[in-house]
Structure 1
Amino acid sequence: MEIFFKSLLALHIAAGAVSLLTGPASMLNRKGGKWHRLTGKVFFYAMLVVAFTAVTMASLPNHHSPFLLIIGVFSAYLVSSGYRVLHLKGLATGQKPKLLDWAIAMVMAAFALYFVGMGLKSLGNNGGVVSVVFGSIALGLVAKDVRKYTQAPTDKKFWLYDHITRMVAGNIAAYTAFLVVNNAVLPQLVAWLGPTVIGSLVISYFIKKYKRKPKAGETTKELEYFG
């Protein structure tokens, strides 16, 4: 069992390193361009490996870890929903979500309720606060999913904003895990929630950028290639 755990850990670390590099690279590359797509796909699959290995390790006897479970499940949900929304652009014009989309949302909802409940039982420590925060964020995102699956979005660019939010949030999860495991300087709560604060500012910046109406002479050509 220890050999299996160490093998999973090695794969987890390797995939995590790839995600830490390709996530920011994807954000910096021209949206919709060749390199954005390439680094984005590598980041997506690397994060799925990170999530799978995290959840598996957290489920092994003698290695149960609420930290790994939270990061693993949340990471899988973020990148999966962020990737799937690229195939759901037609929701605004009558397209219906697939069973897979509902499954991703409902599994995350169940785990989010578990995270919140677990956190409320231990609010006296940082772990409890973090569990409630991440569980609440997840519930908010799932609520958005249910809303767009049941009511046609009024903004036809909803998919772009969702894609940006989920994939940057996936980066947040990756850097949170890296800091929590390797940090020896910052307070624990800062290591846990610092990437969320910074990442939220990044999400806000990009969404405002793409919601801004082009000035005279500007084009939105890059959006035509996004997705």
Structure 2
Amino acid sequence: MEKTIEILIYVHIFFGGIGLAAGIGSVIAKKGSTLHKNMGKFFSVGMIASSLLSLPISRMPNHENLFLFLIGLFTIYMVLSGNRALKYRTKTKAEMIDRIISGSMFVFSFLMVALGSYHLGTDLYQGILYLVFGGFGLFFTIIDFRFYGNPGKTRSAYLVSHIRKMVGAFIASVTAFLVAGLGLVHLLFWILPSVIGTVYIVFWRRKVQGKTVAGRA
């Protein structure tokens, strides 16, 4: 059993490495370019495959880790909904599958917040991690449902949603590299990528929305 788990972990790391490298390439490449789109495809495949493998690994004997299991689900949600956001470039009505994806993540995020509140009294480190990532999950899914209420409200709404989710998934890959790959398990390295990524998301959201306003002028 342990040998099987070890093989799964190596495959998980391999796909995670592809996702991280492609994610860096996607961030560096000009947005909307062929290179950006191709890097985005490799990033999506790598992150989905790596995250799917993390689910059974985190439930196997001697490797049980509920937090990593939930982070795997969080990453899958980010990549799926981030890619599907591009479909709303022309769509003006939300599809049920998107509501199901976001609704499921809302439930898991609420569970993380509940677990975080519980752990604050027994394990502050674990409690903060659950609260931070659970809070991000609730924030993203609440915005999702506001978006689904009127997907065509602004010309940039679908693009902002895409950027927000894909950067969120990239944050997860960087965090995994720092914590699991380099062994930097300090709370700082769990949270710092999210802080930097949030600043990056805000920058691009304002830039995209600014271009939309200028285009209408």
Do they fold alike, i.e. is TM over 0.5?
Answer: yes
- Structure 1 consecutive aligned stretches of length 4 or more whose deviation exceeds 6 Å: none
Query: How do 1:175-214 residues align onto structure 2 when only pairs under 5 Å count?
Result: 175-184=174-183, 188-213=186-211
Matches of 1:59 and 1:88 in 2, distance apart? 36
CA offset at residue 146 of structure 1?
A: 1.3
Report the counterpart of residue 168 of structure 1 in structure 2. Answer: 167
Say what the alpha-carbon RMSD is for the aligned residues: 2.1
Q: Considering Cα pairs closer than 8 Å and 6+ residues apart, tell me whether 1 or 2 has the greater RCO.
A: 1
Matches of 2:211 and 2:57 in 1, distance apart? 47
Report the counterpart of residue 14 of structure 1 in structure 2. Answer: 14
Query: How do 1:89-128 residues align onto structure 2 when only pairs under 5 Å count?
Result: 89-91=89-91, 95-123=92-120, 124-128=123-127
Residues 115 and 58 of structure 1, relative CA distance in 2, 3 Å threshold: same
Residues 208 and 151 of structure 1, relative CA distance in 2, 3 Å threshold: closer
- Unaligned 5+ segments in structure 2 are none
Matches of 2:132 and 2:180 in 1, distance apart? 19
Residues 213 and 100 of structure 1, relative CA distance in 2, 3 Å threshold: closer
Report the counterpart of residue 75 of structure 2 in structure 1. Answer: 75
**TM-score when scaled to structure 1?**
0.86
Residues 59 and 99 of structure 1, relative CA distance in 2, 3 Å threshold: farther
Report the counterpart of residue 131 of structure 1 in structure 2. Answer: 130
Deviation by residue 1:73-131 (Cα, 9 ceiling, x = unmatched): 1110111110000112235xxx3222321221121111111111111111142111011
Q: Which shifted more, 175-184 or 125-134?
A: 175-184
CA offset at residue 152 of structure 1?
A: 4.2
**TM-score when scaled to structure 2?**
0.90
Deviation by residue 1:148-182 (Cα, 9 ceiling, x = unmatched): 22234521210111111111111100111111124
CA offset at residue 58 of structure 1?
A: 1.2
Report the counterpart of residue 56 of structure 2 in structure 1. Answer: 56
Q: Which shifted more, 144-153 or 125-134?
A: 144-153
Residues 23 and 136 of structure 1, relative CA distance in 2, 3 Å threshold: same
Aligned length: 213
Matches of 1:79 and 1:175 in 2, distance apart? 14
Q: Per the alignment, in what secondary structure is the counterpart of residue 204 of structure 2?
A: helix
Matches of 2:150 and 2:141 in 1, distance apart? 14
Q: Which residue identity lines up with residue 191 of structure 2 in the other structure?
A: L
- Unaligned 5+ segments in structure 1 are 220-227
Q: Per the alignment, in what secondary structure is the counterpart of residue 27 of structure 2?
A: helix
